[in-house]
A = this chain, B = another copy of it.
């Protein structure tokens, strides 16, 4: 193993939430549950399963309770529910998620469009929900959206994101995720932002969330784990996007990430061929060709 390459990386499967929320095709809850079951069978142990957004705003997630009621409950599998406000938090708690992930958007314009509040209001919401989560015994994490660039405001300063992380850390997050929501970032930026965030919130484990909008996502993933991120998000098939960010395309694909990581000698606990098959399958459910490549190319050596 070369310097800077860790022995193990945790991969969070975000396909059921971030992957599906922007798709034109509304999938039945049973298909979402099958997607989750397939991911777990392929070795996934943390799943971003649902979002508790308003059903009118994100119709693809309207059946969040139904999905959570049907997923297999296992000691070794943790389900994440995305939460954008107090009402969403109530629903997440009632649905029995293991983790609530609260979104704080790094820029005001995108924050207003995404969840109808400023970044400052997002921070206040996080503090309030974090306190409730700690009381209720559910694991609270934060995603800082648009950490690498904003579709409306353009460049986002790393110092600003690190300052957000410092303030977020005060309320005791179990983890902070830095999200390149629109796939604008490059590896040097990943290294810089992770270093600054770690300095600002030294006690908090860091997760990274990359979209492959401009083909930088996998290079960013390598930079992230070489710079000490313990966890990476990915979606089976590379499906995904954001309904409130123009031109945002899919997450990095779980199967292609697994190929990359395993090839580099990093353990993931994931089954690449099973993930590739699931990527092809979810594409069939959505009636589209998915961006993931492993399902087409095959593993190597084949």
Question: Contact: A215 with B263, CB < 8 Å?
Answer: no
Contacts of A11 in B (CB 8 A): none
Contacts of A182 in B (CB 8 A): 300
Question: Contact: B213 with A263, CB < 8 Å?
Answer: no
Identical copies in the complex: 2
- In the complex, A197 Cα to B155 Cα: how many Å? 39
Judge whether A7 is part of the interface by a CB distance below 8 angstroms: no
Question: Contact: B298 with A260, CB < 8 Å?
Answer: no
For the complex formed, measure the closest distance between the CB of A136 and the CB atoms of chain B, giving whole angstroms: 39
Contacts of A263 in B (CB 8 A): 185-186, 188-189, 216
Residues 23-49 of A, flagged 1 when their CB comes within 8 A of B and 0 if not, give 000000000000000000000000000
Q: Which of A85-93, A94-102, A163-171, A289-297 contacts B (4 or more CB under 8 A)?
A: A289-297
Q: Report 26 cross-chain contacts, Cβ distance below 8 Å, ordered by A residue.
A: A5-B188, A154-B301, A183-B297, A185-B263, A186-B260, A187-B222, A188-B264, A212-B293, A213-B293, A213-B297, A215-B252, A215-B259, A215-B260, A215-B292, A215-B294, A216-B218, A218-B219, A219-B219, A219-B222, A219-B260, A222-B222, A222-B223, A247-B296, A247-B297, A247-B298, A249-B296
